[in-house]
Amino acid sequence: MKHFAILRLLMACFLLYIALSHIELSSVSATLFWATWLGFCWLVAGANFATVLTLTRPPVMEQEEVGEHKTFLY
């Protein structure tokens, strides 16, 4: 289900767009905060690109089942 990865990627890009207008590097703690925030955004975008390009398997919840469903009769 690549559409979930694409939606997460679009959300990360939107949040990055909003954040770029508010970045102020006035102190060391502000610089550390924004560097951490941008690094986390980079990780999220990279993971979702890997899912879209099928470099990794999608999360278990998003994997499509192939085969028959087993039903148990009691």
Provide the number of structural domains found in the chain.
Answer: 1
In-domain check, residue 16: yes
* CA–CA separation, 65 and 73 (whole Å): 21
User: Quick one: tokens of 47?
Assistant: 């993971």
* CA–CA separation, 10 and 17 (whole Å): 10
In-domain check, residue 70: no
Q: What is the pLDDT of residues 26-51, one digit of tens each?
A: 889 988 998 999 999 999 999 888 88
In-domain check, residue 11: yes
In-domain check, residue 22: yes
Q: Which residue has the tokens 């099928």?
A: 54
Residue range(s) defining the domain that contains residue 28: 2-59
**2: Cβ contacts below 8 Å, ≥ 6 apart:** 51, 52, 58
In-domain check, residue 54: yes
Instruction: Kindly tell me if the per-residue pLDDT of 72 is higher than 70.
Output: no
Answer whether 50's CB lies under 8 Å from 56's CB. Answer: yes
In-domain check, residue 69: no
pTM of the entire predicted model = 0.64
